[in-house]
Chains A and B, each alone.
Chain A
Amino acid sequence: MKIKVFVTLKPGVLDPQGRAIHHALGSLGFDGVQDVRQGKLIELDVADSTDDAAIDAMCRKLLANTVIENYRVEKASPGKVGTGFPSGDAPNQESAA
């Protein structure tokens, strides 16, 4: 089962790289760009038996840092097209200490 995980910065978190891209687009003459945010796309190929909870755990434990990032999951296999998960917003992990 092919899965795409989109990791994006939470709204309000300053994105210096997005800002630099925005600036470069302006330098190329693209004037109508309101804002740019840079994120990551992570593609996974997992066993078909992998359940949503396991995929969600992968996102929370490693793929996204929920202090600063949201994530969204898309499943690509026919017949298994899901709507994805809501954005992650886990509480601060400090209590793990």
Chain B
Amino acid sequence: MKTAVIVFPGSNCDRDLAVALEAVTGTRPAMIWHADTTLPDGLGMIAVPGGFSYGDYLRSGAIAARSPIMRAVVEAAGKGMRVLGVCNGFQVLTEAGLLPGALMRNAGLNFVCRDVALTVENAQSAFTSGYDAGETVSFPVAHHDGNYVADDDTLDRVEGEGRVAFRYAEPVNGSARAIAGLLNNRGNVLGMMPHPERRIEAAHGGDDGRRLFEGLLELVGA
């Protein structure tokens, strides 16, 4: 499967994502600079990495979401392209309007950098088919703005539609309904604060994250 990783000024998990994608797909992802306007042909998935794009100026992810390449990413997502946003990537996807809600400063104000337990809520999606529903997994988090906020109607709607992919199994950042990972209405876009790409081999302390990429690959069958 051909994949692409978007790179903004200030991204710092782009190479981690590239290593994870190459390890699972066997193909090195295309690294796409934010100022580019087009995506390569034949992609099976686009990843939007963690980091501090544009120094978190204005709001986390706000400037990146308006960068030239994001117009192409939004257009591709509209046609069903799978898009994964991790950490700052989740913030970028909400700012770009691909996912509802927003990510605000952690309720405890602290930058949280540790392993957290997550419950897999939806194991039917393209991104989570490698897991069992209700399973507990451990992913690292490292963020300051991971406090998911949306109005009650939106929260009820995404819950009702089974769009909560991962939920924190412990207090982390004050997120509404403990949402850690959220799917769009078609299920082809996933935003999540925890880092699956940092948990793909035993040397990382576990490989719970690897199954996210493997499940995706199996589903695409390429």
Cβ contacts under 8 Å, B105 to chain A: 16-17
CA of A61 to CA of B96, assembled, Å: 10
B173 to chain A: closest residue by CB: A16
B218 to chain A, nearest CB (A): 25
A67 to chain B: closest residue by CB: B102
Q: How large is the interface on B (under 10, 10 to 19, 20 to 34, 35 or more residues)?
A: 20 to 34
Establish whether residues B107 and A16, one from each chain, have CB atoms under 8 Å apart when the complex forms: yes
Establish whether residues A14 and B174, one from each chain, have CB atoms under 8 Å apart when the complex forms: yes
Establish whether residues B100 and A14, one from each chain, have CB atoms under 8 Å apart when the complex forms: no
B187 to chain A, nearest CB (A): 12
Q: A96-B97, A97-B78 are in contact. Are A16 and B109 (CB under 8 A)?
A: yes
Q: Is B149 an interface residue (CB 8 A)?
A: yes
B7 to chain A, nearest CB (A): 21
Give chain B's interface residues, CB within 8 Å of chain A. 58-59, 62, 66, 74, 77-78, 94-102, 104-109, 147, 149-150, 154, 174, 184-186, 189
Give chain A's interface residues, CB within 8 Å of chain B. 13-14, 16-17, 20, 61-63, 65, 67-68, 92-97
